[in-house]
Amino acid sequence: MKGLLLAVAGLAAALLGSASAADKLDPSCSGCHALAKPADTSLDRLLTRKGPDLWFAGSKFKKEWLVAWLQDPKPIRPAGYPYFKTVKKGDKNDVPDPSKIAAHPKLKKADAEAATEALMALKAPADLVPEGIFKGEMKGARMGSLAFVKFRGCVACHQGEKGEGGLSGPRLTDAGARLQADFIAAYTADPQRFDPHIWMPTSNLKDQDIQRLTAFLVQLSQGDK
């Protein structure tokens, strides 16, 4: 019973901490992003939301990157969000329609730092992004690159090394600078645990494959350079 009470108390403290952190953000942020885990996880919500959920931002982003990006936000998703609402017919394929892609507000340095502190306090539950799920072994990065481009077809939706790849998903050319390694591994393993209707497939990868893909992605840090 004592253990149960401690667990409940810990969960309550975590929820209160997340709520307090979200309260420190500009109210306009919640107009596009979920800052607390939504009770509604329906497909309708996914199709109508204006931006990605941020209730686990502190387990997803790297702090230094977030401070810099909020001051000079560049598109993370080349085709906008969600991509199926921001593309138009091209000569051969659908192409992004810049007129439908809203720019993210720029923040001054002090505001960016304050927003980052609040966002970094929004942590995913420990079982969603387990600490140490990426074991840090980089020797498999080469095989991860092959999986990304050939074996698993990630490049169909994501831009990877040298900016080559699809436009419908977030670009990963700077994944190592932007994303925490444990988040990459956890999301790659089962994206539907973060959102049950998200269109990225769960590929039932073996842990070895997850480790290799993560190793490849964490070394990507060039962005638009």
What pLDDT, in 10s, does the model give residues 113-133? 999 999 999 999 999 999 999
- Ramachandran category for residue 4: left, alpha or beta (phi over 0 → left; psi -120 to 50 → alpha): alpha
DSSP lists the bridge partners of residue 88 as: 95
If you compute the radius of gyration of the chain from its CA atoms, what whole number of angstroms results?
18
Residue 25 scores a pLDDT above 80: yes
pLDDT higher than threshold 70 for residue 170 = yes
Alpha helix (H) ranges present in the chain?
2-23, 43-48, 57-60, 63-71, 109-120, 141-146, 175-178, 181-189, 207-218
Residue 183: band (very low, low, confident or very high) from pLDDT cuts 50, 70, 90: very high
DSSP letter assigned to residue 113: H
Residue recorded with tokens 């500009």 = 26
* Full set of structural domains in the chain with CATH: 20-120 (1.10.760), 141-218 (1.10.760.10)
Percent of the chain with pLDDT over 70: 88
| Contact yes or no for 211/147 (Cβ under 8 A) | no
pLDDT of residue 14: 46
